[in-house]
Structure 1
Amino acid sequence: MTRLPSAILFTLLVHINEAHVNPSTELSFMFNSTISNRTTLTSPLLRQPTRQATYLGAILAFVFIFFGLIGNILLITTILSVKKLRINIINIFIVSLQFNDLLNIGFNQFFVGLSYANHHWVGGPLICKLVVYFSTVCMGCLLWHHCLIAIHRLIVVVYPSLLRRMSVKTYVIVSLVITRVLPILCCIPSFATYSIEYSPQALRCSIRNKVQIFINLTVLIILPNVIIIFCFLGIFFHVYHASYTSGRTTTPSTSVSHSLRREIRITKMFAVLFTLFFLGYHPYGFVRAYDKRRQLHPDIFVLLTLLYCISICASPFVYGIMNNQLRHECMRVIFNCWHCQKIDDYRKYSHGRLNSTVTTALTVANDGGDDGRASPSAASMRDLSCKTVRKKTSSATIVDTAHI
């Protein structure tokens, strides 16, 4: 019997192993690969930011998240509770923007802060992917909000005749639908394919699909930014030209000048908000696009993420600083809440004093002599207690009437 050469024998063994694969081996391989994918979320061997940077970033992030949530809730409550603010189209856009910021701060930035505090991702693979989707939707929604607000400001300032012919209600509805639906539609490629991976440098997931990155870059970032910049330039150029023209005329109109000052003040407010978001969000995207080989230190991404968090949480304070009406109404809401709490505390205190006085008076009145009649001291005490009760009752009635 002749022996086969060793090379031929090795080739036959390889083909036999490829043709007859053990199913249990396949299952174990799939299970191990799944476990390895999950453990990469907390693998200490990957390059991660330093603990000092993540702890400091977590502290600052949670501080700004706290004030951002309070500011957004206060601003939304003020606009929705005051009728003269609620009927303004600009305030409707502001409320929609603040709801978007609430989702971004309360969900996305909160989990990012938790990952920095624990120095690893704590939400699991599902939350890690949801944070990416919500971040993309919130970012696109925010930019398209600013875009449609800039278009509205351009129509109000430059083309007021067009504003009188168009339906404001229809414009608001269409704008709010576009700002919500368009970012969701742009996320469809990432839904259909596996395009999200964990990034140890950022301690969270990020998009790796080139098609999804191109769509986000063109539709959700570049296009609204270009429209916003051109609208603001057109508004400021028109206002500057109108101010220069009215200054040279011999009979300037006071109402036109006041209207121009009001419109330019509102436009400046939204320009500051857009600039704040531009400086807070875009550096992170530019650095991620530049650092394709992951050569930069991971602490840089902590700093850029913190800048983005600050830019989102600071928007209510920009509204309060640059809009006198919103600031006064917010202060009024805070004062009313504090005043109502003080009145409730006073009512509880007065009610407790009144009950204690009545109880004392009844106790003294029932404490009679041996013959069943009240003693002189008890009678005098009872009269004094009755006078005190009447005085307390009258004073309480006066306070309630004054409050009403």
Structure 2
Amino acid sequence: MAEVSGEIGPGSIFRILTLSCPFTLDILHHVLSTRKNRCVRSDVCIVILLITMVLGLLGNIGLICIITRRREKVNVTSIFICNLSFSDILVCVFCLPFTVIYTIMDHWVFGSLLCRLVPFIQCVSVTVSVLSLVFIALERHQLIINPSGWKPSIPQANMAVVLIWILACFTSTPFLAFQLLTTEPYTNVVLPHSYHTLLSYHWPSQQHRLAYTTWLLLFQYCGPLLLVLLCYVRVFVRLRQRKEMLNRARTPESQRITHSRRINIMLVALITAFALCWLPLTIFNVLSDWNQEALPICHHNLLFSLCHLLAMSSTCINPIIYGFLNSNFRQEVREVLMHCCCRPLEEECEQFPMSIVHMEVSRTSVPLNCSNNSL
């Protein structure tokens, strides 16, 4: 049996394939005979990955900056959303660039240290993302189901963020222990140099590998999504009951419930996007580990590329969802854009004597008109 470069769970780029020697040679023959078509697909994947990386970086950095711009409005939910965005930034920095270069080069060129570190960071970032969504759901559940009870504070939310990162690092440590850079699988096969340097996971046994991949499936995907689903079902049921009790009256309480419902819809959209983006890759991973023969040999790389691209797209979907479904966020974006667009105009106006009133107005990010404020 030979382990070829691959991926365990949704936490890394490369897929583990435990293959017999004849099956390995069949894959190599197919890869070499269809290299031209694969290069075309690689070009398409590279373009999509680059677009995803740029959008993910800009969107998540912008989201963090806008949320932290008004420190007095920062709450527990926004802290976890910032943590979610930061984990997406890690994916854009430590996952997508290496995926692009690996796709171009056809072999690993970053040495043994990054061979271990890159999958570890990728697994950490995915675990942080899903645990952040879980803590958001738990916080919303507590506020809606038991509004007069205990409410998490900002320091407690910060402690939860630290706990999330500790759990994520602990869960991802097998990538540091068992990931190796090797040429062993193809020692006796004549291939171009680009197929000689591979990433391989050397587990103590097949049972250890399957146990870990199953643990990732439960801890990174099935378990968190089930818990989040339970929380939001209870939240929506409670909000509906309260709305019926108020008989749709236009009271401040009714408006507050409507506002909470909108926030919950946005948060459910975030977790739904995460679940849908990672579902194909999760299914691919399960089939590859437990029933490799169920995946067609000739389309194996294509299927993995499509699943991987969809999973990576989650990094740029979160800011879009947050922007479209959060009116406060859209207002902050407009204020930032107006401030940036009006800054050159303000600098030109400030070359002339200004009244105290004008100086006060210039601090509010309101677009200025030189002719109207020169008095």
Amino acid across the alignment from 1:70: L
Deviations 1:88-146 (A, max 9, x none): 22111111111111111122122112323445444344323322111211111111100
Where do residues 8-19 of structure 1 align in structure 2 (5 Å cutoff)?
Answer: none
RMSD: 3.3
Q: CA shift at 1:66, angstroms?
A: 0.9
Q: CA shift at 1:187, angstroms?
A: 2.3
Deviations 1:342-400 (A, max 9, x none): 444x37xx9xxxxxxxxxxxxxxxxxxxxxxxxxxxxxxxxxxxxxxxxxxxx722499
Distance in structure 2 (CA, Å) of the matches to 1:129 and 1:155: 39
* Contact residue 150 and residue 228 of structure 1 kept, 8 A: yes
Match of 1:132 in 2: 119
Match of 1:285 in 2: 282
Cα 1:184–1:231 shift into 2, 3 Å = same
Match of 2:246 in 1: 246
Amino acid across the alignment from 2:273: L
User: In structure 1, the residue corresponding to 2:296 is in which secondary structure?
Assistant: coil
Deviations 1:294-315 (A, max 9, x none): 5341111111111112121121
Cα 1:242–1:334 shift into 2, 3 Å = same
Where do residues 74-85 of structure 1 align in structure 2 (5 Å cutoff)?
Answer: 74-85=62-73
Number of aligned pairs? 309
Q: Which moved more, 1:153-162 or 1:334-343?
A: 334-343
Cα 1:397–1:237 shift into 2, 3 Å = same
Indicate the structure (1 or 2) with the bigger Cα radius of gyration: 1
Cα 1:221–1:178 shift into 2, 3 Å = farther
Identify the match of residue 166 of structure 2 among 181, 185, 188.
Answer: 181
Match of 1:340 in 2: 343
Query: Whose helix fraction is larger, Structure 1's or Structure 2's?
Result: 1
1:316 aligns with 2:319: yes
* Contact residue 132 and residue 205 of structure 1 kept, 8 A: no
Runs of 5+ unmatched residues, structure 1 = 1-42, 351-394
Task: Give the number of the structure with larger relative contact order, counting CA–CA contacts within 8 Å between residues 6 or more apart.
Answer: 2
Q: CA shift at 1:219, angstroms?
A: 2.5
* Contact residue 281 and residue 307 of structure 1 kept, 8 A: yes
* Contact residue 187 and residue 212 of structure 1 kept, 8 A: no
Q: CA shift at 1:169, angstroms?
A: 3.2
Where do residues 387-398 of structure 1 align in structure 2 (5 Å cutoff)?
Answer: 396-398=352-354
Match of 1:256 in 2: 253
Amino acid across the alignment from 1:176: V
Match of 2:212 in 1: 212
The normalised TM-score by structure 1 is 0.68
Match of 1:114 in 2: 101
Cα 1:317–1:197 shift into 2, 3 Å = farther
Where do residues 156-235 of structure 1 align in structure 2 (5 Å cutoff)?
Answer: 156-163=143-150, 166-194=151-179, 209-235=209-235
Amino acid across the alignment from 1:256: E
Cα 1:204–1:64 shift into 2, 3 Å = farther
Amino acid across the alignment from 1:264: R
Q: CA shift at 1:253, angstroms?
A: 6.2
Cα 1:167–1:302 shift into 2, 3 Å = closer
Runs of 5+ unmatched residues, structure 2 = 1-26, 186-193, 204-208, 363-375
Q: CA shift at 1:285, angstroms?
A: 1.9
Distance in structure 1 (CA, Å) of the matches to 2:344 and 2:356: 14
Amino acid across the alignment from 1:335: M
* Contact residue 65 and residue 105 of structure 1 kept, 8 A: yes
The normalised TM-score by structure 2 is 0.73
Match of 2:369 in 1: none
Match of 2:331 in 1: 328
Distance in structure 1 (CA, Å) of the matches to 2:198 and 2:49: 15
Match of 1:375 in 2: none
Deviations 1:154-207 (A, max 9, x none): 1111111123xx451353133212211111111234444458989999x98576
* Contact residue 319 and residue 326 of structure 1 kept, 8 A: yes
